[in-house]
């Protein structure tokens, strides 16, 4: 089941431990990518990490793989909605969309995809990254 993530929305969520202090705008992106690389060691679902970026360019060095793709676009919300629109309706229930942005979240629900709030995804992500701590 593909996971499509509204990247800046996830980074800037209140549950996030990623510092986004604007000194180096790419450092939070790199941190999230590291987290998701680690997550992919125990999960097989492909991830599309969609970043809003000026001029459809994100100056980050990352080699996309089938399991994790970094996608810089001018408008992540519109990209995610278009992705859902392009997915055949019978396959949309196999897509998980991670965003706490109401317009994206409810668009995913209305499209019969699985909508996940950023807080919920952070909980799953942290448990996979720190399994010993989550068992306490």
Q: What is the pLDDT of residues 60-105, one digit of tens each?
A: 777 888 899 999 999 999 999 999 999 999 999 999 999 999 999 9
Query: Which residues contact residue 11 at a Cβ distance below 8 angstroms, ignoring those fewer than 6 apart?
Result: 18, 20, 28, 29, 31, 32
Give the pLDDT of residue 135. Answer: 43
Produce one character per residue of 12-38: b if its CB has 16 or more CB atoms within 10 Å, e if not. Answer: ebeebebebeeeeeeebbebbbebbee
CATH of the domain spanning 2-131 = 3.40.50
The answer to whether the CB of 73 falls within 8 A of the CB of 51 is yes
């Amino acid at each position: 089941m593909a996971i499509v993530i509204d990247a800046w929305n996830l980074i800037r969520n209140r549950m996030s431990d990623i510092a986004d202090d604007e000194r180096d705008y790419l450092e939070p992106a790199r941190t999230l990518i590291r987290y998701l690389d680690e997550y992919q060691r125990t999960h097989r679902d492909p991830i599309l990490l969609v970043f809003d970026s000026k001029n459809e360019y994100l100056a980050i060095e990352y080699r996309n793989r089938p399991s994790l793709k970094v996608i810089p676009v001018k408008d992540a919300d519109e990209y995610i909605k278009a992705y859902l629109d392009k997915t055949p309706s019978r396959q949309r229930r196999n897509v998980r969309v991670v965003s706490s942005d109401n317009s994206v979240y409810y668009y995913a629900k209305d499209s019969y995809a699985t909508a996940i709030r950023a807080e919920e995804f952070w909980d799953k992500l942290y448990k996979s990254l720190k399994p010993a701590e989550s068992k306490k």
